[in-house]
Amino acid sequence: MEVIKKLPTNKIICGDCQHIIKSFPDNSIDLIMTSPPYADSRKKTYGGILPDEYPDWFFPKSAEFLRVLKPTGTFILNIKEKVVDGQRHTYVLEIILGMKKQGWLWTEEFIWHKKNCYPGKWPNRFRDAWERCLQFNKEKKFNMYQDNVMLPVGSWSKTRLKKLGSMDKIRFESQSKSGFGKNIANWLDRDMVYPTNVLHLATECSYKDHSAPFPVELPEWFIKLFTLEGDIVLDPFSGSGTSALAAARLGRNYIGIEILENYCEASRNKLLNVEDTLFKISSTGAKYD
């Protein structure tokens, strides 16, 4: 496959990422944020890679990710090992060790604490309430914009933020982009602290079937932390398009790759809505108090 000069940004591409990315130029992506299909012991389901075969399935892809990532870029891999025959499987550990052999630096492991994890009771195990968000880098010096994910001190703002609907969040982001809006000023007055490497987010419980593996806040957080506006965010296993949605909301250029056509369609529809809203906000100059 011929290497292209211009990346196909702000698109959901339908296909196998291992093949598609081969056409991307070296050192061109600022952030890769993805949650690959989980290993599964059932053979027939989509993405049902057997746990034992998972590392070998993954390594050719991570090698391409390494090639296209900018030296200052970051790769965030959201993953969790399944229980197989009463034990945690080791494929995630093997992936970390194998990626280091490929040349990746394993910089950090963030914990996503799933506040509303799946229920259940078993004689020898509690509910699984966390997943790994592994941070890999190409170089020891990488871009990190810590001030963009600072948290207000205390709980006063938690209730306030929680009350905002998703549309309000879009408005909030568009306001903070342009840097005005009196709400922002109010919020900035408060004391802010840096977060830790533990993220507390609830999974999305949607009424409809637009289920996403992770809440949009998860990619949002990493996109704000590791990219600036106009940077390029790649999700090679785009699924329902949550990472792309987060990137679009935040004014980053997204590239989503997804192998299943119906997921691609659903993602594109979601993204059209967001982009339409963002355009309207910016063109009417609407303000919100």
Partner DNA sequence: AGCTCTTATGAATCATTGA
Partner DNA sequence: GTCAATGATTCATAAGAGC
DSSP string, 211-268: --SS-THHHHHHHHHH--TT-EEEESS-TTTHHHHHHHHTT-EEEEEES-HHHHHHHH
In the list 23, 27, 102, 206, the residue contacting DNA (rule: CB under 7 A) is 206
Show Cβ contacts of residue 281 under 8 Å, excluding neighbours closer than 6 positions: 170, 171, 174
Q: Across the strands, what pairs with 105? A: 137
Which of 124, 155, 159, 284 binds a copy of itself (CB under 8 A)? It is 124
SS3 78: strand
C-alpha span between 153 and 175 (Å, rounded):
22
CB of 5 to DNA, least distance (A): 31
Which residues lie below 8 Å from residue 100, measured CB to CB, with a gap of 6+?
Answer: 106
Binding mask of the shown chain, residues 40 to 79, with x at each position contacting DNA by CB under 7 A: -xxxx--x--------------------------------
Among 2, 85, 209, 289, which residue interacts with a copy of itself (rule: CB under 8 A)? 85
Binding residues for a copy of itself, rule: CB under 8 A, are: 85-88, 90, 93-94, 96-97, 100, 105-109, 111, 113, 117, 121, 123-130, 140-142, 144, 146, 194-198
Binding residues for DNA, rule: CB under 7 A, are: 35-38, 41-44, 47, 82-83, 86, 115-125, 127-128, 153-154, 156-159, 162-163, 165-168, 170-172, 174-177, 183, 186-187, 190, 193-194, 202-207, 209, 211-214, 237, 239
